[in-house]
């Protein structure tokens, strides 16, 4: 298959938005055909949106390229089924192929080794008096009434958990309860097929929040009014 578009997949939970944007810009400049650079985890739109956009722009033969040495084995095993799901759901009849990661590509590995040595003079020296392990503000446990664990792991993110995390933050603020909630994004919480998953403590109830309407109802009913939404609960921790 000669691709006419590429989706580069980045799996890196702790990548800052600014660095990700810089990486997007560099890869886009370097790629001679239309491309999208998406994260498997995080707050940005996921792979399905990227595929939709490229198809909307006319792509007919899409190569999906995992970026990272090595890329996660479990994601590589899961991606064919997830991409087939997108293909079935959208009725896409063009070409779609998943490349292997580049951990076996001798030319890429040689380029990394060469570049490391070429840039050694710019490496930041670390002396023994360089800062400390404990930073200011990391001693106190915050006094929030609600803890929300929002899964932005790869399989929830495939279902657009990243943008929903932003919607959740907006709803909490709009409904005046943001200060009551500690919202933490997490990696995979395991019931991926029920994603996007949000675990609410201390109530011990796990919810599937599939879209912005679910998020708005969750905030008004569960967080603000202290009730539950049985139809969205996927798990209850026995107390």
Contact residues: ligand FES, CB under 6 A:
151, 153-156, 188-192, 195, 197
Give min distance, CB of 195 to ligand FES, in A: 5
What span, in angstroms and rounded, lies between the C-alpha atoms of 153 and 15?
Answer: 13
Report which of 169, 225, 174 is spatially closest to residue 198, judged by C-alpha positions.
169
13, 43 Cβ separation under 8 angstroms = no
Give min distance, CB of 73 to ligand FES, in A: 15
E strand or H helix that includes residue 186:
strand 181-186
- Looking at the Cβ atoms of 75 and 96, the one nearer to ligand FES is 75
Give min distance, CB of 237 to ligand FES, in A: 15
**Which residue of the chain is nearest ligand FES when measured via CB?**
153
- Looking at the Cβ atoms of 43 and 155, the one nearer to ligand FES is 155
- CB 12: neighbour CB atoms within 10 A? 15
What span, in angstroms and rounded, lies between the C-alpha atoms of 71 and 28?
Answer: 20
Give min distance, CB of 64 to ligand FES, in A: 18
Strands 35-39 and 5-10 come out as parallel
What span, in angstroms and rounded, lies between the C-alpha atoms of 111 and 225?
Answer: 57
Strands 233-236 and 205-208 come out as antiparallel
- Looking at the Cβ atoms of 66 and 154, the one nearer to ligand FES is 154
Give min distance, CB of 43 to ligand FES, in A: 14
- Looking at the Cβ atoms of 148 and 188, the one nearer to ligand FES is 188
- Looking at the Cβ atoms of 80 and 104, the one nearer to ligand FES is 80
């Amino acid at each position: 298959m000669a691709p006419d578009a590429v989706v580069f997949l980045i799996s890196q939970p702790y990548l800052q938005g600014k660095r990700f944007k810089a990486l997007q810009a560099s890869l886009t400049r370097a790629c001679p055909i239309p491309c999208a650079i998406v994260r498997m985890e995080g707050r940005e739109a996921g792979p399905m949106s990227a595929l939709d956009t490229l198809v909307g722009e006319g792509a007919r033969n899409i190569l999906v390229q995992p970026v990272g040495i090595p890329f996660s084995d479990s994601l590589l095993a899961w991606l064919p089924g997830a991409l087939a799901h997108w293909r079935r759901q959208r009725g896409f009849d063009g070409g779609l192929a998943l490349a292997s990661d580049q951990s076996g590509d001798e030319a890429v590995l040689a380029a990394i080794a060469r570049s490391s040595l070429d840039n050694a003079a710019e490496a930041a020296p670390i002396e023994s008096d360089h800062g400390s392990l404990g930073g200011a503000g990391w001693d106190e446990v915050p006094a929030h009434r609600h803890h929300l664990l929002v899964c932005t792991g790869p399989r929830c993110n495939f279902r657009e958990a990243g943008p929903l995390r932003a919607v959740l933050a907006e709803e909490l603020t709009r409904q005046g309860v943001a200060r009551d909630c500690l919202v933490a994004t997490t990696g995979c919480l395991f019931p991926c097929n029920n994603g996007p998953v949000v675990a609410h403590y201390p109530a011990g109830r796990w919810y599937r929040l599939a879209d912005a309407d679910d998020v708005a109802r969750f905030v008004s009913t569960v967080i603000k009014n202290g009730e539950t939404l049985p139809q969205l609960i996927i798990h209850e921790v026995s107390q």
